Amino acid sequence: MIQRFGDHAANERTYLAWVRTAITIMAFGFLLERFDIFLYYASRAAGQTISGLHLHASEWLGLLLLLFGAFVVWLATYRFNRNRKLIDSDNNYGYGGVLLERLMTGLLVLMAIFLVVYVARQIFALG
């Protein structure tokens, strides 16, 4: 029998949830990176060239989301291994700092704000 199996299983479920989240972030980044193709064809279908479109901004934000997803996988793996060692330890430890979580939250909020502004500008440019 594995000692503290429930704790290890919970740690692994949390790790897998983070990995799924990272895959979703990377998939969204890839989709956003290809968003410029949609904007290009939408402007051509409208029969006009729209000068207000910033087609390359979606490529850069998509790349940033891909890198951010990779960072989330790294962070999740680090935390999984650290928590696994702490679970096996006989000592009592605190849960840990929240600096990386706050950093990730700040980055996500900045990306979300950028996306809202970016999509709004594209909609107004097409409309």
Greater confidence (56 vs 82) lies with: 82
Q: Can you give the pLDDT at residue 48?
A: 66
| Concatenated DSSP letters of 44-77 | HHTTS--TT--HHHHHHHHHHHHHHHHHHHHHHH
CA distance 115 to 19: 23
- Model confidence band, residue 124 (pLDDT cutoffs 50, 70, 90): confident
- Counting Cβ atoms within 10 Å, is residue 77 exposed (0-12), middle (13-18) or buried (19+)? middle
* Structural domain that includes position 98: 5-126
pTM: 0.71
DSSP 3-state helix, strand, coil percentages of the chain (rounded to 5)? 80, 0, 20
- What average pLDDT score do residues 46-68 get? 74
Tokens at 32, concatenated: 């956003």
**What is the percent of the chain with per-residue pLDDT over 70, rounded to a whole number?**
85
Question: Average pLDDT in the 25-38 region?
Answer: 82
Number of structural domains (the chain) is: 1
Distances (CA, A) of 118 to 12, 72, 114, 126: 37, 24, 6, 12
58-101 confidence digits (pLDDT tens): 778 888 889 989 999 998 999 899 999 989 888 877 776 678 77
